[in-house]
Structure 1
Amino acid sequence: MQNAASATIAVLGGTGKEGGGLALRWAHKGHRVIIGSRTAERAQEAAAEMNATLGTNNVTGAANPDAAAQADIVVLAVPYAAQQSTVKEVEGALAGKILIDVTVPLVPPKVSRVQLPDGGSAVEAVQKLLGEGVKVVSAFQNISAHHLTHLDAEIECDVLVCADDVEAGDTVVALAQEIGLRAWYAGPLCNSVVAEGLTSVLIALNRRYKVPGSGIRITGV
């Protein structure tokens, strides 16, 4: 298993709420974090804001290809519409690395309705695109960004981690646990359809019961 504790992590889409929340938590735990965005300027602005919040210099910003090139582990946290184009943009920097894909195939405006692409996993499609040289891991789809930015709050939602490479999956489980989340290796990458679909279910629950971030718990383990 890769040493998650010392990894440099690039978060592509780190200027958004979900990616930014994950980046903030990893930086808070001492990781070197690189915010990736379509423009370096926007990424650098987000990095400066995080450093000001944390009182550290652990976060830097760069355009997506440069961020991916500098990292040991790359996190993809962009909207579904930008998933594949972003992957193609950074493909040359991903060889031999773990790519954690947080993508949920939400199709506005009906985001509370499950709409999996061709009935399959959006994350598994990325593994097929990249080939065996990149270890793609699905994780964090069901964690509300609302909770991630509150660093001292306990998050009552488990993380389902799916990967064809079990060792890569265990690395991501460790990264999730490090930032205060309960995480479970939930089988091969094709099982990611469950986590991806659950996000729309949780959005529906949030709307129906007027809560900011419903979640899931795995029991009996």
Structure 2
Amino acid sequence: MSQYTVAVIGGTGPQGKGLGYRFARHGHDIVLGSRAAEKAEAVAIEVADRLSEVEGAGTARGANNADAIAAADVVLLAVPYDGHDELVASLPLAGKTVISCVNPLAFDKRGAHGRIINGGEGSAAESAQKLQPDASVVGAFHNVAAPALWGEDDFLDEDVIVIGDSVDGKQVAIDLAAAVTGRPGIDGGKLRLARVLEPFTAVLISINRKYKTHSGIRVTGLGH
């Protein structure tokens, strides 16, 4: 399976740090990105310390967002939805495979729920593609819990669903999913299905709150 250098934009947050750690734990190199290089470098040291005794692990370092992207084959967007469009528009993503795991969620007294994007006809991933037409944007890793990513288990017992309009872009995310779950990601269809995957995270949050766990998704019937 291919080895990648992945720039994690939002790499100092729990989701970005956790996914970066999983990628590097299983042989990929990561560059954690942040607006402030110093912040990214500090978190990269934390990740590298956890990787120091893992045989075959990739490298982890930090940089500002632009430098992280320049050094990478693949860019993971793991940023909050607030300010998402402004940030994505400012990044040098042309020609890159971009994986979005951004979940536009909101919270009220009844719990988590999905935000309505573009009147129900949009998603964070589709917004990123519109803002960066020369990038190949796919969606993946929406439904994996950050605490589980930073845990001690070698792999998470769940599946990663990958959606996108680029066959090559989806294959990159499918490959990277194996670093998280121990098996390739599952091709879930076109990019517009991010409108389903992104808000579904709110359902898992509700399950986690009810059962005091870190739930994930398993897809049955595929023979793995």
Greater share of residues in helix: 1
Partner of 1:171: 172
Partner of 2:137: 136
CA deviation string 1:60-79 (max 9, x = no partner): 11111111111110000011
For residues 137 and 125 of structure 1, the distance between their equivalents in structure 2, rounded to whole angstroms, comes to 11
Alpha-carbon shift at residue 148 of structure 1 (Å): 0.9
Alpha-carbon shift at residue 57 of structure 1 (Å): 7.5
Taking a change above 3 Å as real, the CA distance of residues 13 and 65 of structure 1, as seen in their structure-2 partners, is same
CA-atom RMSD, angstroms?
1.8
Structure 2: segments with no counterpart, 5+ residues: none
| TM-score where L is the length of structure 2 | 0.89
Number of equivalent positions: 214
Alpha-carbon shift at residue 151 of structure 1 (Å): 4.2
1:14 partnered with 2:11: yes
1:44 partnered with 2:45: no
Partner of 1:152: 153
Q: CA contact under 8 A between 1:79 and 1:104: conserved in structure 2?
A: yes
Partner of 1:106: 105
After the TM superposition, which parts of structure 1 deviate over 3 Å for at least 4 consecutive aligned residues? Answer: 108-111
| TM-score where L is the length of structure 1 | 0.90
Q: CA contact under 8 A between 1:159 and 1:181: conserved in structure 2?
A: no
Percent identity of paired positions between Structure 1 and Structure 2: 41
For residues 203 and 161 of structure 1, the distance between their equivalents in structure 2, rounded to whole angstroms, comes to 20
Alpha-carbon shift at residue 108 of structure 1 (Å): 3.8
For residues 217 and 171 of structure 2, the distance between their equivalents in structure 1, rounded to whole angstroms, comes to 20
Partner of 1:33: 30
Taking a change above 3 Å as real, the CA distance of residues 44 and 109 of structure 1, as seen in their structure-2 partners, is farther
Greater share of residues in strand: 2
Structure 1: segments with no counterpart, 5+ residues: none
Alpha-carbon shift at residue 179 of structure 1 (Å): 3.2
- More deviation, 117-126/69-78: 117-126
Which residue type is aligned with residue 16 of structure 2? G
